[in-house]
Structure 1
Amino acid sequence: MLKELNCLSLESRRTLHLSNLVFKRFSGKLPPYLNKLLPLAVPLSYNLRSRTRNGIILLEITDRMKPPPLVLCSIESIARVYPERPLTFFMKGLPDIKSGDYQTQARKRFPVLSSFENIYFFPLRMDELYADTPLLPWYKKVSEKYWIHVSSDGCRFAAMWKYGGIYMDTDVIAMRPIPYKNFLAAESADYCSSTVFGLDPRHNFIWECLEDFVKSYHGDIWAYQGPHLLTRIMKKTCGMPTFKNKEDASCGNITYFHPQRLYPILWSSWKKYYEVWKEIPSFNDSYSVHLWNFMNTAEKKTLVLGSNTLIEHLFKRYCPTTYRSAGFWPIAGPSGAG
């Protein structure tokens, strides 16, 4: 250790010293899971890890620093459904950590979420996230038509490989906790979804995804590096599981969810979220709902207070704090996650 420190430049030593101070300050207050996320927030020379595996990861891979209500609702709903789990929101637009009061300062940026003690904000640094994975060489040389979405795919796979837990897109509203550690979800009978999934860190399935991401790369084809990639690996590993009625399937130690668990309303019917229903669905067979925000990019449908639409009911029930502060903000916006 001493020899390694002597090889560092003065600037690197100062960075390491500052990082250690930040780590000591945070490690006394943050859940153990977040201690190992500090290498992404600060350019540490030494990896700080823990073995806790129950965190939830969300991403904002653009520079957007004013999340629209749907993103805030998504985060709030997840924080409420999983109060004992650390929810880490990585944002590309956040500054580097330079002091021990970073979380306090970060929370001031998002007052709607500031009361939830299990939400933490960290800067997303892709080169750090992709380090020690097959994706780092790809990241340094490739730029594509669907760069935001392709980068989001890469980030979620790299984060799940390194840290495990649950990944969720920020247009997902959580309704009840998922009781499994290792799970994937079917979007339809033919495709696996990358919107929500959970795996142990260093799970071989994710490593297969990382290798295929580079080996079979076609970033110019929509969804090829995300749900289509997971579908390819699923077929390679187990064949495509089939469902009996609404029962879940399995692939090794991975539970494979029936589409009803996460997609009770399919992408082709996304506008139903903005319609008035005679009877609000119970969603009793679902852990969450996906609002398919990328489908709303052109129309920019909004949450209208007092409209009695399905989305208003979801906001009222699962993210009441966001709902009370929402006003007439638009739900749609440039997608930063999925």
Structure 2
Amino acid sequence: MSRRIIMFSFADCQAYFYFTTMKNTQKVVIFLLLFLAVGFLYKANFQNTSLYPVSYLYENYINKTLKSKLVPPQNNSEPAEKDLSPSDVLNGGDSIIYLETTDKLPPTSLVLCAIESAAHHYPTRSVVFFMKGLTEINAEEVQKKHLSVFSSLPNVYFFPLQMEMILSDTPLLSWYQKVNPAKEIYWAHVSSDACRLALLWKYGGIYMDTNFISLRPNPHHNFLAAESKQYSSNAVLGFSSQHEFIWKCMEDFVKNYHGEIWGYQGTLLFTRIRNQFCTMASFTGKEDFMCGNITILNPGHFYPIEPGSFKRYYEVWDKEPTFDTCYALHLWNYANRGDHRAMVPGSNTLVEHLYQKNCPSVYAELARNGTSL
């Protein structure tokens, strides 16, 4: 027979003896007092925790998340634990980068679709959007009104575009400190040209203009995209940080600056520097070319529809192309600036189907609210 050892203190024995000799009414009173005491403690504890109800905790979480996604820490100050700076997000070297160098708000549906499509097709990579119109003052309002569609996408980040910070530690900073934006014909474009070079030099990753709808991941790391048989595009490119090609582009940008010539700091710059690395043969099929350690991607990967035919994106097709060799589609915003064509829900156009497949959240919002978000 096993024996259980139980140890009592002298005080325990006294309490037990006293309780067994009590009358039933006394026991009832003690039980009631204990019950009330437990209830009081529970209530007090509940009231303390209810100072932070679920709705508050949820809002507090959202605010912290939005602050980390929307607002970088102040310059020359110690960042708060909850804040993320652009470098915190970009330092991995594989981010997808977008820029908006005008104050334009809200972003167009195409801009929002570009960002969402990248977030879906690059789920393990950060998708970072720098917006000149976003400030620490209006961040919460911009989020609620224009960017709430991204609340379910954890890899999307928004930051104010601060050019001096972006261009710091590059040859482009001296150019920026001397140039007068008010006298520049194409300031929104050349400032964007400069920022993408600086960001790729410092952090690496893939840059895309905001009129690309991503279709599938691009497996290439150091690449240029051919816009045509002769020209290399600067609308989409990818490089590791501190790549020689990007450094040469920045040097040429400053030394041979001609902001009054359309594309001189963009496509023409990239084509000039590419020609220093290798002599390009004209594309005759679907082949890509190697230029040192840089892949020159065939125009068909991004530009299957040429700029003169951009309206085809906004038409109904009897049989739609599969775009099975495309990583993203360029919708030629600049060519469309006069027509102002946009995706219309229910139109059965090619662009509507692209939205449905690649940016379903943006499409759903447009379907509910018309052609604006």
TM-score range, shorter chain: 0.7 to 0.9
- Counterpart of 1:268 (choices 303, 308, 318) is 308
**Aligned: 1:125 with 2:167:** no
Q: Deviations over 1:265-324 (max 9, x none)?
A: 111111111111111110011111000011111111122221111111111111111111
**Aligned: 1:190 with 2:227:** no
Residue 20 of structure 1: aligned partner:
79
Q: Deviations over 1:162-200 (max 9, x none)?
A: 111000110000000000111111000010011111000
SS at match of 2:78: helix
- Counterpart of 1:290 (choices 324, 330, 334) is 330
Displacement of 1:329 in angstroms is 2.3
Residue 190 of structure 2: aligned partner:
150
Distance change (3 Å), C-alpha of 1:195 and 1:217: same
Please show how residues 1-338 of structure 1 align to structure 2 within 5 Å. 18-21=77-80, 24-26=81-83, 34-35=87-88, 50=91, 52-96=92-136, 107-109=143-145, 110-142=147-179, 143=181, 144-243=184-283, 245-326=285-366, 327-329=369-371
Residue 42 of structure 1: aligned partner:
none
1:292 maps to a residue whose letter is W
Distance 1:69 1:161 in 2: 29
SS at match of 1:88: strand
SS at match of 1:206: helix
Specify which structure has the bigger relative contact order, considering alpha-carbon pairs within 8 angstroms and separated by 6 or more residues: 1
Distance 1:67 1:224 in 2: 26
Distance 1:170 1:157 in 2: 16
Distance 2:87 2:255 in 1: 31
Displacement of 1:256 in angstroms is 0.8
Matched-pair contact (CA < 8 Å) for 1:73–1:315: yes
Matched-pair contact (CA < 8 Å) for 1:302–1:330: no
Question: How many residues are aligned here?
Answer: 295
Displacement of 1:54 in angstroms is 0.9
SS at match of 2:287: coil
Residue 11 of structure 1: aligned partner:
none
2:79 maps to a residue whose letter is N
SS at match of 1:286: coil
SS at match of 1:210: helix
Identity of aligned residues (%): 49
Taking only aligned residues, the RMSD between alpha carbons, in angstroms, comes to: 2.3
Distance 1:137 1:297 in 2: 32
Distance 1:160 1:35 in 2: 15
Distance 1:249 1:232 in 2: 17
Distance change (3 Å), C-alpha of 1:82 and 1:34: farther
Distance 1:108 1:249 in 2: 45
Distance 2:233 2:198 in 1: 16
1:329 maps to a residue whose letter is T
Matched-pair contact (CA < 8 Å) for 2:224–2:233: yes
Q: Deviations over 1:37-77 (max 9, x none)?
A: 5xxxxxxxxxxxx4x21111111111123111000111000
Displacement of 1:96 in angstroms is 3.8
Larger Rg: 2
Distance 2:222 2:128 in 1: 19
- Determine which structure has the larger helix proportion and give its number: 2
SS at match of 1:325: helix
2:219 maps to a residue whose letter is P
Matched-pair contact (CA < 8 Å) for 1:267–1:292: yes
Distance 2:87 2:360 in 1: 27
SS at match of 1:64: coil
Name stretches of at least 5 consecutive residues in structure 2 with no aligned partner: 1-72
Distance change (3 Å), C-alpha of 1:316 and 1:273: same
- Point out 4+ residue stretches in structure 1 off by more than 6 angstroms: none
Displacement of 1:242 in angstroms is 3.8
Distance change (3 Å), C-alpha of 1:97 and 1:242: farther
